[in-house]
């Protein structure tokens, strides 16, 4: 069964992705402006992260348009590469690129949480289910979970902004809920998609998720959300009572070479 891509899907998803990228870069720019870094360092950080984010989105879009995540019938699924590879590369970059860690240390945890209001874009799964394009075993948990996480994000962020120490457990719970939502959605998408591993929804398999533009959600928005959760949890692990921490200038060179010991250090 080959469902046609609804006419409203492309503008909805692409607009959502543009809003996500723009929100991230504006938030980063605001954090950098608040810092005491030299202007050259701030510009380097902003342009480096911008190039990384936009380049990633371009790769996700081009690979989706090329049909990479829609293998021939009977072949193993490929969409798992679309979300696993960016997560692995993102974690490696975090560990090996001091400038990235230094930049993320500037970003308030409340913002890392609040920006994920964009998760409400998951309502599209419920819309597609209502229109008969997606099966219930995938659409319901993916749609409801994303909307719930997205709607609660600003409230959790506001609570943390008012009292980081008292709200640390709430932020931890929200992050774990957000990760669990993504894991469930990916699992159900895998189990309901046409492949040798399909276990559910044989009468109405989840095909649209591997087709552009909906494929941008699992291969761009999902790994991005996982990495934002990781950054937020890292900040909580370092010091639950600290919203953000600017590294002292002597801990890192202008080129991004690390002199200090740990990312998100709370030592001044």
pLDDT in 10s for each residue of the chain, 268 residues: 456 789 999 999 999 999 999 999 999 999 999 999 999 999 999 999 999 999 999 999 999 999 999 877 777 889 999 999 999 999 999 999 999 999 999 999 999 999 999 999 999 999 999 999 999 999 999 999 999 999 999 999 999 999 998 999 999 999 999 999 999 999 998 888 887 777 787 777 788 899 999 999 999 999 999 999 999 999 998 876 666 555 444 344 444 444 544 444 333 2
- Alpha helices, DSSP H, located in the chain: 9-34, 39-65, 79-96, 98-106, 109-114, 123-130, 136-162, 164-192, 216, 222-238
Beta-bridged to residue 252, according to DSSP, are 258
Is residue 255 a part of any domain in this protein? no
- Rounded CA-CA distance 259/253 in Å is 7
Domain of 38, in residue numbers: 9-240
pLDDT of res. 3: 64
Residue for token pair 């607009």: 15
Is residue 74 a part of any domain in this protein? yes
**Contact in structure between 215 and 209 (CB atoms under 8 Å):** yes
Question: CB under 8 Å to 177, separation ≥6 — which residues?
Answer: 148, 149
pLDDT of res. 71: 78
Is residue 250 a part of any domain in this protein? no
Beta-bridged to residue 258, according to DSSP, are 252
User: In this structure, what DSSP letter does residue 77 have?
Assistant: P
Question: Quick one: CA dihedral 101, 107, 108, 113, positive or negative?
Answer: negative
Is residue 95 a part of any domain in this protein? yes
pLDDT of res. 162: 92
pLDDT of res. 266: 34
Split into its structural domains, the chain has a count of: 1
Is residue 153 a part of any domain in this protein? yes
pLDDT of res. 252: 44
Is residue 258 a part of any domain in this protein? no
- Rounded CA-CA distance 130/144 in Å is 13
pLDDT of res. 262: 43
Collapsed DSSP state (helix, strand, coil) of residue 252: strand
Is residue 67 a part of any domain in this protein? yes
Q: Does the bond joining 26 to the residue before it have cis omega, within 30 degrees of 0?
A: no
Is residue 3 a part of any domain in this protein? no
């Amino acid at each position: 069964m080959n469902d046609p891509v609804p006419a409203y899907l492309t503008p909805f998803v692409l607009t959502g992705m543009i809003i996500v990228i723009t929100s991230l870069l504006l938030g980063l720019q605001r954090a950098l402006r608040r810092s005491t870094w030299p202007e050259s360092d701030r510009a380097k950080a902003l342009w480096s992260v911008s190039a990384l984010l936009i380049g990633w989105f371009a790769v996700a879009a081009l690979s989706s348009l090329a049909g990479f995540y829609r293998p021939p019938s009977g072949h193993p699924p490929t969409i798992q590469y679309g979300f696993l590879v960016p997560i692995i590369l993102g974690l490696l970059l975090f560990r090996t690129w001091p400038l990235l860690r230094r930049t993320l240390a500037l970003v308030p945890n409340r913002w890392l949480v609040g920006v994920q209001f964009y998760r409400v874009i998951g309502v599209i799964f419920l819309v597609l289910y209502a229109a008969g394009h997606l099966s219930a075993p995938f659409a319901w948990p993916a749609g409801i979970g994303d909307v719930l996480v997205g709607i609660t994000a600003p409230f959790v962020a506001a609570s943390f902004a008012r009292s980081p120490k008292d709200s640390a457990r709430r932020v931890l719970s929200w992050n774990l809920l957000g990760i669990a939502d993504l894991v469930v959605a990916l699992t159900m998408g895998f189990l309901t998609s046409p492949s040798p591993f399909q276990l559910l929804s044989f009468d109405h398999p989840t095909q649209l998720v591997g087709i552009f533009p909906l494929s941008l959600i699992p291969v761009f928005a999902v790994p991005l959300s996982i990495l934002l959760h990781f950054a937020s949890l890292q900040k909580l692990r370092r010091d639950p009572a600290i919203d953000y921490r600017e590294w002292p200038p002597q801990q890192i060179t202008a080129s991004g070479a690390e002199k200090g010991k740990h990312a998100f250090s709370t030592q001044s």
